[in-house]
Chain A
Amino acid sequence: MLSSTFRFLTRTSTFVRPMMTTLARRSLSFKPTLVNLNDKHRQSAMIINHIPVRQSHVHYTYPMIESRVMLVLRLFDKIDGDALQLDSKFAQDLGLDSLDIVEITAALEDEFWTEIPDVDSDHFLTPRHIIQYLCDKYDVYEHVEPVSAGKEYMEEAKAAAERAHHH
């Protein structure tokens, strides 16, 4: 009986297609079913009825997005890996045309399991634009400086206090 449950568990995991270059691990969450876990047969009930369910959202961070985008770009055969920088322009520096941009966009869609329409891929001029677009899509703000409305006020107040102190 234990072997059949093991086979069942491994079969459900094949429904999730493995991501090629994913660096973050998806967290498994075990959803308990309507079985009383406090009775004598607790051990066997837990193994049979706890079906692992993968969360649909991976936790996206800026370094993860950046490294995946640069990897996808490096794997593209028309891009010279040495010349590739965050700010190297596709058209001028790397010599790519619109067909190549479409191909890169298709590869990125495949990597990030998302859709990128043509209107958005028209604005991809450097790798940094791609990373910024994906950060906006997945609400990643780690690399952005937090804007404080009170910063200038604090500096002004400090300067006024200094002036008042010295008088």
Chain B
Amino acid sequence: MNQFSLKHFIVRSQALALYRDVMRTVMKIEDQDYRKEIREWARSEFHRNRSLRDLGEIRTQVALGRRSLNELKLAMQMAS
């Protein structure tokens, strides 16, 4: 029996939705070097945590990611 449950599937789709929001926000950054830097940082953060299997840990990381994304959006608004 596969150890992954429905909750895992839901949490996985939440993480992918967060990654998608991050990528869409990153696309709007004008400066190419800064855009590359932020994209590499986001990629490394997600790939670093990709082997997590505990639901609580994954949810915590997703929430932290959301907060970082909101900070990034604020910073972009203030810069423009």
Contacts and interface: CB of A to CB of B under 8 A. Distances in A.
Interface of A: 98-99, 102-103, 105-107, 109-110, 118
A107 B28 CA distance: 11
**Interface residues of chain B: helix, strand, loop or mixed (majority):** helix
Interface string B1-45: 000000000000100110110011001000000000000000100
Interface of B: 13, 16-17, 19-20, 23-24, 27, 43, 46-47, 50
B16 A109 contact: no
A102 B23 contact: yes
Given A118-B13, A118-B16, A118-B17, A99 B24 contact: no
Contact of A98 (B16, B23, B24, B43): B16
Given A99-B47, A102-B23, A118-B17, 6 more contacts: A99-B16, A99-B19, A102-B16, A103-B23, A103-B43, A118-B20
A61 B46 CA distance: 37
18 contacts: A99-B16, A102-B16, A102-B19, A103-B19, A103-B23, A103-B43, A106-B23, A106-B24, A106-B27, A107-B23, A107-B27, A109-B24, A110-B24, A110-B27, A118-B13, A118-B16, A118-B17, A118-B20
A107 B20 CA distance: 10
B27 A99 contact: no
Contacts of A105: 20
B39 to A, nearest CB: 8
Contacts of A118: 13, 16-17, 20
A106 B20 contact: yes
A85 to B, nearest CB: 25
A18 B43 CA distance: 28
Nearest to A110: B27
